[in-house]
Amino acid sequence: MPAGISTGKNKFIGPGTEAPWINLKLAPGTTDQTTALSFQKSLNDVLALNFFFDSPNLIWFFMALAIHTFNPYDIAGTLTTSATTWFLSRFAMNYCVAFVYYGFFHYGLYVARWGKRKFVEGSYPSAGNMLHNLYYWSLGIVQWTFWEYVMCKIWATDQGAGYVSNNEILNSKSLFAWNVFWFLAIPVWRDLHFYIAHRFIHIRAIYKYVHSLHHRNNDPEPFSGMTMHTVEHLYYFSNAFTPSLFVSGLSPMVFLWNFIHLTIAPGAGHSGFEDNFQADQYHFVHHAKFECNYGSPFSAFIDQYFGTFREKLGKSVKYTGEYKNDYEETNETIQLSSKTAEKKNS
């Protein structure tokens, strides 16, 4: 993640939470982040475990741990209670957890105005925008809960890789180490999967009928992070079944941790602001340009290798992709020219 957890007074939103590479003398989104992103930087973060312990991943992991501790999956319940009862109970919890998290960033940035560095100054979502986003965002929570039921049913009926209990893990050094490995590996696996899936849904036909819905938010706010077509949710959530469906000796928390990461991470990353603990200039440029920065800051080296990396808003010297000459760049924001818009939607 580009910012990590701030050492400022406000740990999450507001001045002092900007990433250290940001030049506060420049307009939001216009600092060149080339030197902050590279394969060597990502590798070093993995080897030093900074990607986990000095990033939002740590907070999200503790969210998953708290849920696993106080409201674990009712695996046996998939055999003893109705699917509707099981689903509605879990859905209520999932919805509350996700809504509080997303709502905190939406309220802090768009209602309380704690953030001061908005990428597009003066641009705020209308009531219609929010109804649209909340509808599709809610469908994401529905699908998340559905796949949780499916996985718990698989475990309950021994139709896939078996799971191990907390006691088994705590009483076995090898199982404990195996689960710790996967707890650490999930964010890395998520980034790799996200790049592949995201690049795939930018294929013209799939973009037009599926992913374009997400890109209606060219100036995103938190809830737009998981505002997707149902088919895109399917691609996006497919990540969660590896490793839990195929690898034995894992706690159900590995699956839960995967889904918490999938569901919670898009929130602050789509904030539209530069000053919060997960501010993501890299992905905001993707929403402004559509044809670049397909990965996350952690996997930016892939975009750098393929020439689809844009280092900032404004004119890019790094991007060498197909649409290099198809943009009109005005002021501090970037919009698709009509020529490129026609290409992407034809």
Task: Give the confidence band of 321 by pLDDT, cuts at 50, 70, 90.
Answer: confident
Measured between alpha carbons, how far is 81 from 75 in angstroms, rounded to an integer?
10
List, for residues 52-66, the tens digit of each pLDDT value: 999 999 999 999 999
List, for residues 33-56, the tens digit of each pLDDT value: 999 999 999 999 999 999 999 999
Percent of the chain with pLDDT over 70: 90
Q: What average pLDDT does this structure show over 73-92?
A: 97
Query: Would you state the structure tokens that stand for residue 16, as one six-digit string?
Result: 């002092």
Q: Which residue stretches of 55-126 are H helix?
A: 56-70, 77-80, 83-106
Q: For Cα atoms 118, 98, 1, give the angle at the middle one, nearest 5 degrees.
A: 50
Measured between alpha carbons, how far is 1 from 201 in angstroms, rounded to an integer?
23
Measured between alpha carbons, how far is 156 from 73 in angstroms, rounded to an integer?
11
Measured between alpha carbons, how far is 241 from 234 in angstroms, rounded to an integer?
12
Of 96-100, 274-278, 310-314, 320-324, where does the model show the most confidence? 96-100
Task: Give the confidence band of 326 by pLDDT, cuts at 50, 70, 90.
Answer: low
Query: Would you state the structure tokens that stand for residue 286, as one six-digit string?
Result: 């993707």
Q: What average pLDDT does this structure show over 309-330?
A: 77
For residue 342, the model assigns a pLDDT of: 38
333-336/327-330 β-pairing? antiparallel
Q: What average pLDDT does this structure show over 187-209?
A: 94
pLDDT surpasses 80 at 1: no
Measured between alpha carbons, how far is 264 from 89 in angstroms, rounded to an integer?
19
Measured between alpha carbons, how far is 105 from 263 in angstroms, rounded to an integer?
14
Is 333 in a helix, a strand, or coil? strand
* Beta bridge pairs of residue 330: 333
For residue 275, the model assigns a pLDDT of: 93
For residue 160, the model assigns a pLDDT of: 78
For residue 336, the model assigns a pLDDT of: 41
Q: For Cα atoms 31, 36, 37, give the angle at the middle one, nearest 5 degrees.
A: 115
The answer for residues whose C-beta is within 8 angstroms of residue 193's C-beta and 6 or more apart is 238, 239, 242
What predicted TM-score, i.e. pTM, was given to this entire model? 0.89
